[in-house]
Amino acid sequence: MELAGYGSAEMGGHERIRFLKDLDTEVAGRHVLVVDEVVDTGLTLHYLCRALGLRRPESLAAAVLFDRPYRRLVDDLPVRHVGFTIPDEFYAGYGFDLDERWRNLPDLHLVERSPALRACVA
């Protein structure tokens, strides 16, 4: 599956989520594990889990590499496996990007908060 989130709940708006690609197989009666890179507010994962729950899986759980539980806006998420709980900072590299840059770095870097610099630091 592929979802896209846009808008911002933090800015007083509402995050909107849409499916870009749906599943190719049925999940009814099957154990489903959602794997995601990061769970933040939980809005996207909550939307996805509600949509999958309507398809009647045997079980539904999530595994995330990074978790930011202190930013959560949704409480009832099935996050069962967490790689790391991280602070409220932005990272780039190892597949994570900032404005489509630094995704190809071989490791994670903390992105400086200064918009003028937009530089990665180790």
- Among 22, 24, 36, 40, the active-site one is 40
Question: What is the C-alpha separation between 65 and 84, in angstroms, rounded?
Answer: 6
Q: Is 88 designated active site?
A: no
109 within 8 A of 95, measured Cβ to Cβ: no
Helix H or strand E encompassing 47: helix 43-53
68 within 8 A of 37, measured Cβ to Cβ: no
Cα separation of the two ends of the chain: 33
The residues annotated as belonging to the active site are 40
